[in-house]
Homo-oligomer: A and B are copies of this chain.
Amino acid sequence: MPPADRLTTTFAALADPTRRAILSRLAAGECSVGELAKPFPMSMPAVSKHLRVLERAGLIAQTRQAQWRQCRIQAAPLKEVSEWTERYRQIWEERLDRLDEYVQQLHATQKKEKKSHGRKQHSK
């Protein structure tokens, strides 16, 4: 198994509601593992493991402070997620160049169709 690339690691880390909730909490400010764990119906070790996953993904960092570990969010990997996702914006917004092609092809196929439909018309 080749080591996973960054985006893969990031997406995998985000594919868990507990971990996303942790990030959400940390967006409001640093806090300790114990505080972080409180809302979740699972053991501390389970939360600790989630933190490890987030840490390996570069999404959080921990610093010692007495017997507590303070966690803080590190959102840099989310920038890459954002950039990757943006490439698809045109598609989900459905002003699709791709759909244009499809529509054109449809018209080409149905040549007898009259073209005076003033509807949604896109040009390349």
Contacts and interface: CB of A to CB of B under 8 A. Distances in A.
A87 interface: yes
Which of A11, A66, A86, A120 has the most C-beta atoms of chain B within 10 angstroms of its own C-beta? A11
Contacts of A84: 20
Given A12-B15, A15-B15, A120-B66, A89 B98 contact: no
Contacts of A72: 102
B29 A98 contact: yes
Copies in the complex: 2
A41 to B, nearest CB: 12
Given A66-B120, A78-B88, A98 B27 contact: yes
Interface string A10-51: 011011110010011001111000000000000000000000
Interface string A49-88: 0000000000000000010000011011011011011111
Contacts of A92: 75-76, 78-79
16 contacts: A5-B17, A11-B15, A15-B15, A20-B84, A28-B98, A66-B120, A73-B88, A73-B98, A75-B89, A76-B92, A78-B85, A78-B89, A78-B91, A81-B81, A82-B85, A82-B86
